[in-house]
Amino acid sequence: MKLNKVILSGVVALSCVSASAQEADKTVNVFTPHWYAQAQIGGQYTLGEIGFGKLLSPNAQVGVGYNFNQVVGARLSLNAWQSKAGQNVAGNVYKWKWNYVAPMVDATFNLTNLFCEYNPDRLVEVGVFGGIGANIAWGNDEAADAKAAILKSEAATEALKYGATPLENLWDGTKTRFVARVGANVDFRVSDRVKLGVELSANTLSDKYNSKKAGNPDWYFNALVGVKVALGETHTTKVIPAPKPVEKIIERIIEKPAPAPAPKVESKVVEENFRRDIFFPIGNSNIAKSQSTKIAEIVEYMKENPDAKITLTGYADKGTGSAAFNDKIAARRAQTVYNTLAAKGVAKSRMIKESKGSRVQPFEENDMNRVTICIAK
């Protein structure tokens, strides 16, 4: 048999792992709702017209709170100690102080977790809060003494001729007034359950608080430092196994080409179900630039398959927000993809949009469920 008529063929079977390094298991931290206790001490400045240092007084606060999720919480606190006021009459400064206790209810918001990925090992976190409560004040005897001293002065006697009455809103006994506040805090991590923090707040109440009539609300500002202790686990750790290496069988056929090989006819592989997943940042329904390639691939597929229809299903993750909020943002995510595809030429009659909120979680990893899954058939 001539050599040019001999066909040499061989089959080589190789089992191999993908050329890239094997991925390691991924560890994901999942926030756990929990209670916490808080104790703080610091100072207060009661807004007034005499020197700043003369209106400083001690302040303290204790509280207990609950973090519903990694962003939103609530706190019940008891703020108390002392407030000061004063008046300058013809160069003479009159000062007085009184005591108070203020039970408050606040809504708290962790801005760091809102705008950044949740990380229980983060050293510094920033938050804001706002609330309402009652200011229960007593011991205003010094204000009455100050008014008596002012009325005895020559300057006050002259001012009274023109209708200027000192300490016109003087009060005695125990008075309860509505108070509202807003503030900000910075917490520094010590351990999983312990944080040291700094808190600043602005508090406003009626014009009668400092005994003087000014025609506008009275204010006091608190600066506090303290410790916050979590009363339970703050998070759990979930390990997502790395994908198993894919074994591939590579077959190689070695043969001498035939004199007149038949022309190859390439067959086009058509995907029965075409799928692309459009992922979104936390609390957001805008399509990121990183997802634009997927949008282009969907548009191209729909052009090449004019009979295909596509279903757009929006989702939200369970770890953030309430069920009602998640229903709305999931629907907005589906609507955003719908509007984007329509703007790029995909007929609206070929698209179906749905929303499953956070009731269904298509992925095990919490953050991946901020998604619109697009399936074309």
Q: Which helix (H) or strand (E) holds 341?
A: helix 323-343
Choice among 69-73, 108-112, 225-229, 260-264 with the minimum mean pLDDT: 260-264
pLDDT tens track for 307-362: 999 999 999 999 888 888 999 999 999 999 999 999 999 999 999 999 999 999 99
CA separation for the pair 66, 50 (Å, rounded): 40
pLDDT on residue 267:
41
Q: With beta carbons less than 8 A apart as the criterion, state whether 74 and 63 touch.
A: no
pLDDT tens track for 70-119: 999 999 999 999 999 998 887 889 999 999 999 999 999 999 999 998 99
CB atoms under 10 Å from CB of 67, counted, come to: 21
Residue 51 DSSP symbol: -
CA separation for the pair 220, 80 (Å, rounded): 12
pLDDT greater than 90 at residue 244 = no
pLDDT on residue 179:
98
pLDDT on residue 9:
39
Kindly list the structural domains of the chain, giving each domain's residue range(s) and its CATH number in brackets, ordered by start.
Answer: 27-236 (2.40.160.20), 272-376 (3.30.1330.60)
What would you report as the CA-atom Rg of the chain, rounded to the nearest whole angstrom?
35
Tell whether pTM > 0.75: no
Choice among 219-228, 296-305, 317-326 with the minimum mean pLDDT: 317-326
Confidence band of 63 (pLDDT split at 50, 70, 90): very high
pLDDT on residue 348:
92
Strands 218-230 and 235-240, how do they pair?
unpaired
Q: With beta carbons less than 8 A apart as the criterion, state whether 47 and 250 touch.
A: no
Average pLDDT over the chain reads 86
Q: Which helix (H) or strand (E) holds 295?
A: helix 292-304
pLDDT greater than 50 at residue 17 = no
pLDDT tens track for 165-186: 789 999 999 999 999 999 999 9
